[in-house]
Structure 1
């Protein structure tokens, strides 16, 4: 990394653990503190659109969206000014926090930022039987559980392929989850914008509202918190799309492909030079095998949150 534009370091660059896709470091210099993200270029699931995302981030920052100041971006490194704040636990947030997230989304969707039309989505994968066989042959600790869910994973892939998206499509963050948020004096700060792009509005709202209204599983969903996100979105100038399964298809599809990506990393059986460590990939696979079937089979129940 060439970080000379950030000033003279006042100490060593420190690894910040916890990233699910890339690697993060903190660097303190005579010009301040910076978050340095080393992008995974070895087996990333999408092409990183550096220029588009950086332009979008700058427009959002200039519009007053609470987020780290974007400093620079290259094909393998993203730099933002370091922001202090409290981590947001994977648990229902307060109604006020959820409402403000909704308002922020409304403001983001009102930004007029040029964006090329090319999709960053890969086709949905249907090779789950083959992966399960490889997991069994290589002695993966979760191989038997994986094999028991093959039909469900194929059904999920079919749902992702065939679910109708009513539109409109908006330019948005696409990944507002507790682990991509901070709380500063009780108010939100949005982190990790590199997945930004075009997305069906219902998918963005459903993914965001559900992630803020529940804990790690689906046993503690707070409908009032889910609704607070939507109320905030309307207050921020947004218009809600019609209810339906499309509100949750992006969340389900993204988790499906994230699980597959980590399965492939586990099948490789070695620590990669970038991205999450092997232990975190195993944990992500187990989370997907436990959580995805439950999320999918409770889709009808989740749709009642929209009524």
Structure 2
């Protein structure tokens, strides 16, 4: 992308570290500050629909959704107006913050935006025995834990493939997690829309509500915060879908695919030119190898959050 349209630079464009999938840079010019995101197109798990996502973002911004202003997009780059705010820690949010996220989701789902693509269906990975053997052979630091959990990972794959989704399907952000939020004056700002697309409503609500109600593990889940997201959704005009395991299948399936993707990057042992740094891939692989079996094992307990 030709960035000259953004104005005359004031200093060098600087990298902002920490992205789990892409690479982010800040560019300051005489026309303001911009977030320039370099999309990882080398080993993506699915196709980016950049033009359609950008159109969806424009509609959301025009409707007053709290988010960075979308400025420009092409096949490999997204540009937004830079937004100052505080990072949202991975810990239980306040009930008020969670309630507002629920309201925002309802407003997003009410947008009248055409979407020409069917829901993205990533093949459920089942090559866990082979991945574990390669991890052990190459001395990965989390190899023994992966090898011990192969049976659980295959059971998780079965759950993802067989769990019924009740609908409805909505056009949505799909990834409202603490690391994709900022807090500005204590209120949420929604970042990182590039995964937007069609999704079963229960999966969107369950993933979002649980992420805001817990810390890094599952020992600090606050049911009141979980329910605040749902209360905000209803207050914003949304209707809750039927309760059941489908509320958590998108979260579990997405984490399963993300874990495998990072494991493969670690097995290659090469610092890639796009996407997360190798050290971050190791951290994500380790977290998935340890956290997914725990999450899956407590699925019945999590369903009690639904009332």
Asked whether the two chains share a fold, i.e. TM above 0.5, the reply is yes
Q: Which position in structure 2 is the counterpart of 1:145?
A: 145
Counterpart Cα distance in 2 of 1:186 and 1:137: 48
User: 2:294 & 2:251 partners in 1: Cα distance?
Assistant: 13
SS of the residue corresponding to residue 112 of structure 2 reads: coil
SS in 2 for 1:238: coil
Q: What RMSD in Å do the two structures reach over aligned CA positions?
A: 0.7
Q: How many residues align?
A: 307
CA contact 2:175–2:208 (8 Å) conserved in 1:
yes
**TM-score computed with the length of structure 2 as normaliser:** 0.99
Q: Distance in 1 between matches of 2:4 and 2:143?
A: 47
In structure 2, the residue matched to 1:243 is 243
Tell me the distance in 1 between the aligned counterparts of 2:121 and 2:217.
26
Q: Which residue of 1 aligns with 2:229?
A: 229
Query: Counterpart in 1 of 2:100?
Result: 100
Task: Tell me whether 1:256 sits opposite 2:260 in the alignment.
Answer: no
**Partners in 2 of 1:79 and 1:279 — Cα distance?**
26
Equivalent residue for 1:48?
48
1:6-25 correspondence runs (5 A): 6-25=6-25
Matched, 1:202 2:237: no
User: Which position in structure 2 is the counterpart of 1:212?
Assistant: 212
Q: Distance in 1 between matches of 2:278 and 2:51?
A: 31
Instruction: Name the CA distance, whole Å, in 2 between partners of 1:297 and 1:162.
Output: 17
Residue 114, structure 1, aligned to residue 114, structure 2: yes
Q: Deviations for 1:176-230, whole angstroms, at most 9, x for unmatched residues?
A: 0000000000000000000000000000000000000000000000000000000
Name the CA distance, whole Å, in 2 between partners of 1:227 and 1:155: 29
Whole-angstrom distance in 2 between the partners of 1:186 and 1:58: 24
1:49-88 matches, within 5 Å, as 49-88=49-88
Partner of 1:128: 128
Q: Unpaired runs of 5+ in structure 1? A: none
Contact 2:245 2:299 in 1 (8 A): yes
Shift of 1:142: 1.2
- Report the Cα distance in structure 2 between the residues aligned to 1:238 and 1:190, rounded to whole angstroms: 18
- Give, in whole Å, the separation in 2 of the partners of 1:25 and 1:46: 23
Instruction: Report the Cα offset of residue 45 of structure 1.
Output: 1.1
Q: CA deviation at 1:72?
A: 0.5
The DSSP-based 3-state class of the residue aligned with 2:206 is: helix
Runs of 4+ in structure 1 off by over 4 angstroms are none
Whether the 8 Å contact between 2:119 and 2:199 is mirrored in structure 1 is no
Q: Distance in 2 between matches of 1:166 and 1:297?
A: 22
Structure 1 counterpart of 2:299: 299
CA distance in 1, matches of 2:258, 2:121: 12
Q: Aligned partners of 1:207, 1:56: CA distance in 2, in Å?
A: 21
Partner Cα distance (1:116, 1:161) in 2: 24
1:295 CA displacement: 0.3
3-state secondary structure, aligned to 1:271: coil
The two structures have a TM-score, normalised by structure 1, of 0.99
